[in-house]
Structure 1
Amino acid sequence: MGALNPIALQLGPLQIHWYGVIITTGVFIALWLSVRESKRRGIDPDDLYDFLLWALPAALIAARTYYVVFQWSYYKDHLNEVIAIWDGGIAIYGALIGAAIVVVWFTHSRGIPTFLFLDVLAPTVIMAQGIGRWGNFMNQEAFGKITTLAHLQALHLPDFIITQMNIEGAYRTPTFLYESLWDLIGFVLLMATRHREGLYRQGEVFFMYVIWYSFGRFFVEGMRTDSLMLGPARVSQWLSVVLFVGAWCWLIIRRRRQVPLYLAGIKSTVK
């Protein structure tokens, strides 16, 4: 058994990559779940659809820009590949930054409480991130150090994952899988606790998402061998630290204010 074909469908010269199919699937599942929750919190579902029209292109452009900037030593000599996102090479932190900028602009322009909007989106975003890592799997990206077949078998991984982790003649640590599982566990925890009476104030579901994701990403990033670097530093690890500390600080500060409960929904005007 060889590596899986990253091409899902070939229509003449047109190639549809599994990478794009998987990421798109995650986005639409996230949208469906977010629309259901938006109705409960008093947010017009049409606002979610409108937001997606702005956020998707912004997130893709920011994700690719982030990746290219930190890989400029390669792309400066391969400018024709800068837009080739179908071959992989987008950074999730870049996508989140791009989407966050759109969230702030969009919610203020529509008069929607920003943190409530983020709370609705947060659990489904981390779910989409967990699904999206399987796009990296199909492209044989986001892997870790060289390991052995015996080690992978000892993890009781399915054969198709073990085979796909044979990259350029060596077995690699499946860090894509570790992050995917971490994200999906975070999704389950947020979904299981989000509706508990009196537990979350507005903004806190989002902050718990940031805290959970950044904590796990810090350690997974440390195991990867294809990290984006800034000198000797792993960019995503440093950003994870900033986000983890920043989210805790902001959460504590907002706890001292009279911030409405998440379940109060759109009744609040707090942004």
Structure 2
Amino acid sequence: MNGISFPGLGIKFGNVPTSIYIFGIEIKLYAFVITLGFFLALFISGREAKKSGQDPEDYLDFFLWMIIPCILGARLYYIIFNWKEYFIKGRGFKETLIDLINIRGGGLAIYGGLIAGAIVAYIFNKKRKLSLPLMGDTVCMGVLIGQILGRTGNFFNREVFGEYTSSFIRMALPIDYFANDKYDTFDMYMESGIISRKMIENPEIINGQKCITVYPTFLFEALWNLAILIFIFLYRRKKKYDGELALIYIMGYGLGRFWIEGIRTDTLMMGPFKISQVVAFICFFGALGVMIYNRKRIAGGKELPCHRIKVEEKATETENN
């Protein structure tokens, strides 16, 4: 029941837990990798700040500022676009409130966290009289690392997957796992469309277990983010102006997310539209528009602020005999 397989690639994981226990305390693996991602993002951002002549302490303060707002933003975003799941007629106030604050059962949207983080960054930079575009360049690689690890957490939770597929890249999940979920019922998975009729009608038997086979969209996004991260890492010494790396991140992430969201099943809707596709569309063309505008300004002779990563020079000693 706890296995996850990629039969087309010959990869099988016999037991993939969602939690580990330390001194009798349950630790969700999703929460663990998210926390790890946060500290890695802070480390990378502080390192990049130092290399570009900034004060790393400003980034420690900024990350402390944004922890709670980002969690609240991610939760609020999910609730707003999944309103009917929480506000059910006849349900009492106490029960509704418990559901609203219970993030252990899932319900955090990354776009909500990113939007909240951007708002906090704007306020923080105004207060400290720092450069918002430069901060965007400094933190974007750390944010990408956090997102990559976050999608790894989705693997442990068996979530953020796509439609039915029989292709070689399919991921197989035992149906019994969802039937025995202590947070949600199997009917909920079916009614919401997370598990489709086509998945149920085309099961694959693996190790004697009936499995659904789906696109591993969490893996697609993790790999896409890794590609963006590598590009930004290689390009950062050649950037033309402060904010360019952040714009590359916003545009690149929007492009990949728009495609990946198209094949996901557990996605938030706004009428007939997938809300994440709408936001991804806006991010891509908004960032592209700003990049074109800035390039035209540079071509016209405008000099824009640009703090590149400095090349570290090793001191050499010479001896005169």
Could you list the per-position Cα deviations for residues 147-186 of structure 1 after superposition, in whole angstroms to 9, with x for gaps in the alignment? 23xx3xx23x8xxx64579964412210000001000111
* Aligned residue among 298, 305, 309 for 1:260: 305
Deviation, structure 1 residue 236: 0.4
Deviation, structure 1 residue 89: 1.5
Q: 1:127 to 1:165 in 2, by over 3 A?
A: farther
- 1:95 aligns to 2:110 (yes or no): no
- 1:54 aligns to 2:54 (yes or no): no
- Distance in 2 between the 1:140 and 1:20 partners? 14
* Local SS of the residue matching 1:262: coil
> Match of 1:260, as an amino acid?
P
Deviation, structure 1 residue 245: 0.8
Alignment of structure 1 residues 119-268 onto 2, 5 Å: 119-148=137-166, 151=167, 154-155=168-169, 162-163=172-173, 168=178, 169-196=211-238, 199-255=239-295, 256=297, 257-263=302-308
Mark the runs of 5 or more structure 1 residues left unpaired by the alignment. 266-271
Q: 1:166 to 1:128 in 2, by over 3 A?
A: farther
Alignment of structure 1 residues 22-33 onto 2, 5 Å: 22-33=33-44
Q: 1:175 to 1:264 in 2, by over 3 A?
A: closer
- Distance in 1 between the 2:156 and 2:149 partners? 12
> Match of 2:78, as an amino acid?
Y
> Match of 2:87, as an amino acid?
K
The 8 Å contact of residues 87 and 139 in structure 1, kept in 2 or not, is answered as no
Deviation, structure 1 residue 213: 0.3
The 8 Å contact of residues 133 and 243 in structure 2, kept in 1 or not, is answered as yes
Deviation, structure 1 residue 53: 0.9
The 8 Å contact of residues 201 and 259 in structure 1, kept in 2 or not, is answered as yes
Could you list the per-position Cα deviations for residues 41-91 of structure 1 after superposition, in whole angstroms to 9, with x for gaps in the alignment? 222111111111111111110001000111110111362221222332211
The 8 Å contact of residues 140 and 164 in structure 1, kept in 2 or not, is answered as no
- 1:108 aligns to 2:129 (yes or no): no
- Distance in 1 between the 2:22 and 2:56 partners? 35
Deviation, structure 1 residue 128: 1.3
- Distance in 1 between the 2:121 and 2:175 partners? 37
The 8 Å contact of residues 261 and 276 in structure 2, kept in 1 or not, is answered as yes
- Distance in 2 between the 1:165 and 1:53 partners? 41
The 8 Å contact of residues 194 and 200 in structure 1, kept in 2 or not, is answered as no
Q: 1:97 to 1:72 in 2, by over 3 A?
A: same
- Distance in 2 between the 1:264 and 1:26 partners? 23
Deviation, structure 1 residue 111: 1.3
TM-score, normalised on structure 1?
0.87
- Distance in 1 between the 2:264 and 2:66 partners? 28
**Residue 2 of structure 1 corresponds to which residue in structure 2?**
2
Deviation, structure 1 residue 253: 2.2
The 8 Å contact of residues 137 and 164 in structure 1, kept in 2 or not, is answered as no
Deviation, structure 1 residue 239: 0.7
**Residue 269 of structure 1 corresponds to which residue in structure 2?**
none
Q: 1:224 to 1:166 in 2, by over 3 A?
A: farther
TM-score, normalised on structure 2?
0.74
Aligned pairs, how many?
Answer: 254
- Distance in 2 between the 1:253 and 1:166 partners? 53
Q: 1:76 to 1:11 in 2, by over 3 A?
A: farther
Structure 1 window deviating more from structure 2 (43-52 vs 71-80): it is: 71-80
Greater gyration radius: 2
Could you list the per-position Cα deviations for residues 191-231 of structure 1 after superposition, in whole angstroms to 9, with x for gaps in the alignment? 111013xx331110000000100000000000101110011
Deviation, structure 1 residue 140: 1.1
The 8 Å contact of residues 203 and 262 in structure 1, kept in 2 or not, is answered as no
**Residue 136 of structure 2 corresponds to which residue in structure 1?**
118
- Distance in 2 between the 1:192 and 1:213 partners? 17
Mark the runs of 5 or more structure 2 residues left unpaired by the alignment. 4-15, 89-94, 179-210, 311-321
Q: If each structure's helix is expressed as a fraction of its own residues, which one has the higher value?
A: 1
> Between the two proteins, what is the percent identity of the paired residues?
36
Could you list the per-position Cα deviations for residues 72-125 of structure 1 after superposition, in whole angstroms to 9, with x for gaps in the alignment? 101113622212223322111000000000000101111111100110001221
* Local SS of the residue matching 1:15: strand
